[in-house]
Amino acid sequence: MNFSEEINKIPIIKIISSFADESKTEVFMVGGVVRDLILKRKRSDLDFLVIGNSLEFAENVAKQLGIKKVSKFKNFGTAHFRYENFDIEFVGARKESYNRNSRKPIVEDGTFEDDIKRRDFTINAMAISLNKNNFGELIDLFNGYQDLQSKLIRTPLDPFQTFDDDPLRIMRAFRFASQLEFNVDDSIMNAARQMKERLRIVSQERITDEFLKILSSPKPSVGLKLLYDSEVMQIIFPEIHNLAGVDQRQDYHHKDVFLHTLIVVDNISKTTENVWLRFAALVHDIAKPQTKKFVEGIGWTFHGHEELGARMMKNIFHRMKLPMNKLEYVEKLVRLHLRPIALAKEEVTDSAIRRLIVQAGEDLQDLITLCRADITSKNPQKVEMYLANYDAVMKKVLEVQEKDKLREFQSPVRGDEIMRICNLKPSKKVGEIKKAIEDAILDGVIENNYEAAMSYLLKIKDKFLKSEDSK
């Protein structure tokens, strides 16, 4: 298979290709960039595999492009620079072996095949040649092309060995499955289930990074389900793992909170890219297992789960090394997620609405987005009714905001000016004139600015002063 037409569209390819031949070096496009090219996914980082001295090669290509800044990592044999909107990386072919206590490999120079073999998945292990004799040719040692067509994540070598060498690859398998909406091979699920404890040698930052990529994918339930089914969730996010399961008692059962949560996360992901709002959706019911209680005659209750859930966030943020400046936002959404529905009733007071406006602050819209995503009923009539309830709450919010704005509203012409122009002492009359100006603005008789208010004052003042005289 040949991709010369596709790669010729990438601006830097011609230069790399002719320099490869000039310097008699084999060079390939490799890894994720080949995968994305075949899938026609846009990407801005381009990775090149150099059989030989990658640092020197990168330096020379950069020179031809007039680029001065090349970052070189001698230990890894990688060099990186930016060109137009692309992140360009050159890496020398390497062979890796592993020590069991670390996911950091022992690296030595290797052949093309050594380098391809160390890659995590077949869909990431393809290369396209850039040398003239086979320019554009796909080199696919592990049937990655076929796996892309059948939407399958598979490891080139034995998955037990692959995950034993670098357990982060377990997370990467589920992340790619979620991003691309692919399946993972059964052998990956088996190996992941058995090797999950190995994730403990991986730094929390890397695990969290992959977890957030899953949450950022178009349909996060794909990855979340794989994490749960492989029992990896138990290791990386036990509170979410514990949401699964249903208790049955005297005909009363409650919805499986984990399955409900997956629907809420997928729902919200259709309307927002904000990963912290998605995270809030993931954890909104996190304290349901701890607060679950069976009440005779009523059924299952989860009293206070929103408050306890909010309080659990700090620990989780610390443990998962999540950015602390997002803690308050997530806590707030969890704490308030039941509030809007409680305010949908007819007889709700302005002050109850005002309290929500103040507590939710600038995140009120996100809170309502969460509430809407939280509707997982399968009955379309109920869904419509619940959505209408939130519309009603937001209408009340607008009404109260409008009223509050009016309360703060003041005439552009102030009391002391009215006194000066009308020659009045501080008195009730001053207030009456001021109110008349404000009413004229609110009724749309005059515009809301100083000049209009002043000329209106001059027009009405005699009428007010006359009524003063007659008193």
For position 17 contacting ligand ATP by CB under 6 A, the verdict is no
Least Cβ distance, residue 105 to Mg ion (angstroms): 18
Least Cβ distance, residue 120 to ligand ATP (angstroms): 4
Interface residue with ligand ATP among 154, 169, 337, 429 (CB under 6 A) is: 169
Closest to ligand ATP by CB, 170 vs 418, is 170
Binding at 119: pick from Mg ion, ligand ATP, none (beta carbon under 5-8 Å per type): ligand ATP
Closest to ligand ATP by CB, 166 vs 438, is 166
Least Cβ distance, residue 347 to Mg ion (angstroms): 56
**Which residues within the stretch 3-42 sit at the binding site for Mg ion (CB under 5 A)?**
32
Closest to ligand ATP by CB, 169 vs 429, is 169
Binding at 120: pick from ligand ATP, Mg ion, none (beta carbon under 5-8 Å per type): ligand ATP
Return the range that interacts with ligand ATP (CB under 6 A); candidates 50-58, 137-145, 165-173, 454-462.
165-173
Residue nearest ligand ATP (C-beta atom) = 32
Calpha distance 218→20 (Å, rounded): 38
Contact 287, 309 (CB under 8 A): yes
Structure tokens, 211: 């977890």
> What would the x/- binding string for ligand ATP be over residues 73 to 112, using CB under 6 A?
----------------------------------------
Total interface residues for ligand ATP by CB under 6 A: 10
Three-point CA angle 191, 197, 203, nearest 5°: 110
Interface residue with ligand ATP among 168, 262, 400, 457 (CB under 6 A) is: 168
Interface residue with ligand ATP among 13, 16, 94, 119 (CB under 6 A) is: 119
**Which residues within the stretch 25-64 sit at the binding site for ligand ATP (CB under 6 A)?**
31-32, 47
Least Cβ distance, residue 235 to Mg ion (angstroms): 25
Closest to Mg ion by CB, 175 vs 429, is 175
Q: Which residues of this protein are in contact with ligand ATP, per CB under 6 A?
A: 31-32, 47, 119-120, 124-125, 166, 168-169
Q: Which residues of this protein are in contact with Mg ion, per CB under 5 A?
A: 32, 45
